[in-house]
Amino acid sequence: MLTVSKYVFLDLLKNRSILVYTAVLAILSFTLLGLDGNSAKGLLSLLNITLLFVPVITTLFSAIYFFNSLEFIELLLSQPVKRTGILLSEYAGMALSLSAAFVVGVGAPLMVLLPIGASFVLILTGVLLTFIFTSIGLLIFVISRDKTRGIGAAIIVSLFFTLLFDGLMMAFIFSFSDYPIEKAVVGMISLNPVDLARILMLLQLDVAVLMGYSGALFKDFLGSSAGSIYSVVCMLLWIVAPLMLALRIFRKKDL
Amino acid sequence: MIRILTILSFLMLPAAVSATVIRTGPDSLLQHVLDRARPGDTILIAPGIYKQHDIVVRTSVTIIGENYPVFDGEDKHQLFIIAADRVSISGITVQQTGRSSMVDMAGIRLQNVSRVTVINCRVINTTYGIYLQNSRNCIITNNEIKSSATDELQSGNGVHAWKSDSLLIRANNISGHRDGIYFEFVTGSVITGNNSQNNVRYGLHFMFSHNDTYIRNTFRHNGAGVAVMYSKHVVMVSNNFEEHWGDASYGILLKDISDSRIEFNRFAHNTIGIFMEGSNRIHIMANAFTANGWAMRVQASCESNTIENNNFRENSFDVATNGTLMLNTYRNNYWDKYEGYDLNKDGTGDVPYHPVSVYSILSEKIPTSMILYRSFLTNIIDQAEKIMPSIIPDQLRDDTPKMKKWKL
C-alpha cells in the first residue's frame, strides 16, 4: 500500500500541472507579499486566492488524475491487494503532493516574508482544504460513470462551495434577519469547508471588529478559541466523511 | 517699605531652612508626630508595617518613607488625609483601604489644598488610590497604583480628581481600578507619561473638565481607553491606545466635546479607534490607525471636524457612521484600501476615496452577515459599490487621498 502511495506521489511530483500550480502560487505569493510593504494586505489577497484556487484546482485536478489512472488501478486490482488499500493510497499520494505544492508555493514565501501567526493559520487552512477537496474529488471519481461527467461534477461542486453557497447563505441571512438565526448560521457554515477555512482566518485577522458586535454568536463562538477548534474539527470531518463514503462505494463498484 | 520687607524675609529664611528632621518608626503613632511637627519639618519614616489609619496631615511637612514603609488599612480604613498646603509625601506604601458605600475610601486623600506633591508612592489594593478634592497646583508623579477591581460598582479610581485646577499627573503606573484617572470639573491640568492599563472602565475619564492636556500616555487593555465627555479645549497628543476589545470598547470616546485637538496618537488593535458623538470642531491630525476593527466611528451628530493627514492601515473598516448627513471634512489621509490612481504624480490620488465600506453598513443592519465577511461574494459587492455607489454615503469622502503613507 505504501509502495502505491509512493509511486503516485512521485508520479505527481513529475506531473507538469503540479509544477505549474506550484509556480503560479509561488509567483502570486511573492508579488502580493512584496507589494508596497503592506504585508497584511498581501495576506488578505493570499487568503482570497487560497479560498478560490485551492478548492477549484484541487477538485478538478484530482478528479481528472483519478480518471486517468483508472487503467493503472484496474491493473493493480488484478493483483491480490485490497480495493480500499489501493484507493486510500491513491488518495494519500494525491493529497500529499498537492499539499506539498501548496506548502512550497504559498507557505515558503509566507515563512520568508511574513512569519507571523496568521501566516501559519493560512498554510494550515490551505493544506486542510487540499485534503478536503482531494477527498471530494475522489468521491466524484468513484460515483461518476465516465470522465466527462466526472469533470463536470467537479467543476459544479467546487463552484458551489466557493461561490454559490455564500450566495444562498446571504439570501438566507437577509431574508430571516428578524429571527434568531445565529445558531442556524453557524450550523450552515459547517456545511461548507471553504467558509470554515475563511472563518479560521477571520478569527486571526479581524478579531477586533468581531468583538464589536454584540450577541452570543460573535462573543462566545467566534471570540474565543472555541470557534477555531470547532472550525478545525469540522474540516477534519470534511476530510473523513467523503473519503469513507468513497471507500464504501468503491468496494462494491463494478469496474 | 517693600525693601525692608525683603530684607526681613531674608533674615527669616534661615529659621525656615533650619526646620527639624524627625525620625519615627512603627512603634510610635505617626499622628502624634504630625500633630507636634512645625511647618517645614521633615518626617522620616523607618521601614516596617504600620497598622495606623486615618492619619490627618494638618501642617506643611515633608513626609519621606525609607525603603517603602507599609501603611495598612486592614480592609477597613482610609490611610492618609492631607489637609494642609505644601505637604510633600514620598516613598511610602499605602495598602488595603477596603470598601465602603458611605465614604470613598482613599489611600491618599488631598482635601482643599494647594501645592501638595505625592511622589514615588506605592498604592496597592485601595478603592480610590489618590483622591484630590478641591485642590490646586498639586503634583502626582512616579506612583505605582495597583488594584484588582473586577466590576464597576465595587471599585474606585486610581487617581480621582474633583473640582481641582492646575494639576500635574505624571509618569504613574495605574492598573486594576474602575477608571485609571478620573477628572470631574478639573481645569488647566496636564496628564503626561502615565501608563494606565487593565482598568475595568476607562483608562482616563474626563467629565466637565476644560482646558486639559494629556500627552505621551499609554492606555492598554482597559474597558475603553479614554472617555472625554462634556468638555472643551482638550488637547490629546502622542498617546498610545492599544487593545481595547469589546462591543463598547474604544481607544477614545468623545461625547459632546468641542474645540479640541487629537494629534500624533497611535491607535492599534482596538475595536473602535475613535468614537465621536455630538462633537464639534475637533482637529484630528497625523494619527496612526493600525489594525483596528473600525478606525473611526463618526456619528451624524458631529459637525465641523477636520480629519487630515492620518494613516489608516490594516483596519477591518476605516470609518463608520449612522446617517447620511456629512458635516465633517476628510482630507489628505492615507488609506491603505485606496485603489485609485495618480496620473499627474503629485502624490494625491485623482479619484476620491469613500472610507465607509458597504459591508460595514450591511453588517450594521444585520450583524449576523458578518460571518460572510471577506468571502468572495462580499468582495464582489464591495467592488460593485465602488464603481456605482448606492448604499454608502456618497458625501463622506476624502477628495485628496494620499498615495503614500505619512511618516508618523
Q: How far is B175 from chain A (nearest CA, A)?
A: 22
Reading the block at residue A79, the C-alpha cell is 493483483
**What DSSP assignment string belongs to A23-62?**
HHHHHHHHHHHHGGG-HHHHHHHHHHHHHHHHHHHHHHHH
Residue A167's identity, in one-letter code, is G
Complex-level ipTM: 0.83
Which residue does chain B place closest to A223, by CA atoms? B246
Which of A109, A73, A104 has the alpha carbon at shortest distance from A90?
A73
Q: What is the pLDDT of residue B88?
A: 95
Reading the block at residue B233, the C-alpha cell is 479645549
> Per-residue pLDDT tens for B217-242?
999 999 999 999 999 999 999 999 99
* Contact (CB, 8 A) for B333 and B312: yes
Return the residue in B243, B275, B369, B370 with the most chain A beta carbons within 10 A, the one to mutate for interface testing.
Answer: B370
> Per-residue pLDDT tens for B245-291?
888 889 999 999 999 999 999 999 999 999 999 999 999 999 999 98
Determine the average pLDDT of the residues in A66-77: 89
Q: What is the pTM of this model?
A: 0.86
> For a pLDDT cut of 90, what percent of chain B falls above it?
70
* Residue B289: its H or E element: strand B288-290
Residue A132's identity, in one-letter code, is I
Q: What CA–CA distance (Å, rounded) separates A123 from B131?
A: 53
Q: How far is A79 from chain B (nearest CA, A)?
A: 47
> Per-residue pLDDT tens for A145-173?
889 999 999 999 999 999 899 999 999 99
Q: Is the pLDDT higher at B279 or at B393?
A: B279
- Find the radius of gyration of the CA atoms of chain A: 19
Is the Cα torsion angle B96, B99, B100, B104 positive or negative in sign?
positive
Q: What is the pLDDT of residue B161?
A: 96
Q: How far is A21 from chain B (nearest CA, A)?
A: 21
> Per-residue pLDDT tens for A173-193?
989 988 888 888 888 889 999
Phi-psi region at B364: left, alpha or beta (left = phi > 0; alpha = psi -120 to 50): alpha
Q: What is the pLDDT of residue A38?
A: 65
Alpha helices in B176-265 (DSSP H): none
Q: What is the pLDDT of residue A77?
A: 86
- Find the radius of gyration of the CA atoms of chain B: 26
Q: Which residues of B touch A221 (CB under 8 A)?
A: none
Q: What is the pLDDT of residue A216?
A: 61
Q: What is the pLDDT of residue B15?
A: 47
Determine the average pLDDT of the residues in B347-356: 92
Does B177 have pLDDT greater than 60?
A: yes
Q: What CA–CA distance (Å, rounded) separates B354 from B399?
A: 9
* Interfacial B residues in 370-399 facing A (CB < 8 Å): 370-379
Indicate the average pLDDT of chain B. Answer: 90
Determine the average pLDDT of the residues in B320-334: 89
Q: Is the pLDDT higher at B188 or at A2?
A: B188
Determine the average pLDDT of the residues in A113-141: 92
Reading the block at residue B224, the C-alpha cell is 475603553
Q: What is the pLDDT of residue B335?
A: 93
Residue A200's identity, in one-letter code, is L
Q: Which residues of B touch A214 (CB under 8 A)?
A: 247, 367
Q: What CA–CA distance (Å, rounded) separates A110 from A120?
A: 8
Does A212 have pLDDT greater than 80?
A: no
A3 and B CB contact within 8 Å: no
* Contact (CB, 8 A) for B162 and B179: no
Does A211 have pLDDT greater than 80?
A: no
A49 and B CB contact within 8 Å: no
A149 and B CB contact within 8 Å: no
Q: How far is A222 from chain B (nearest CA, A)?
A: 9
* Contact (CB, 8 A) for B277 and B299: yes
Q: What is the pLDDT of residue B144?
A: 95
Contact A219 B247 (CB under 8 A): yes
B271 and A CB contact within 8 Å: yes
Determine the average pLDDT of the residues in B313-330: 89
* Contact (CB, 8 A) for B59 and B37: yes
Which of B62, B162, B41 has the alpha carbon at shortest distance from B120?
B62
Q: Which residues of B touch A177 (CB under 8 A)?
A: 365-366, 368-369
Give the relative orientation of helices A165-175 and B376-387 as an angle to the nearest 10 degrees: 70
Q: What is the pLDDT of residue B85?
A: 95
Q: What is the pLDDT of residue A169?
A: 92
Q: What CA–CA distance (Å, rounded) separates B202 from B253?
A: 10
Does A45 have pLDDT greater than 60?
A: yes
Determine the average pLDDT of the residues in B85-111: 91
> Per-residue pLDDT tens for B12-71?
554 455 578 999 988 889 999 999 999 999 999 999 999 998 999 999 999 999 999 999
Q: What CA–CA distance (Å, rounded) separates B302 from B277?
A: 6
A175 and B CB contact within 8 Å: no
* Contact (CB, 8 A) for B138 and B161: no
Q: What is the pLDDT of residue B14?
A: 47
Q: What is the pLDDT of residue B369?
A: 85
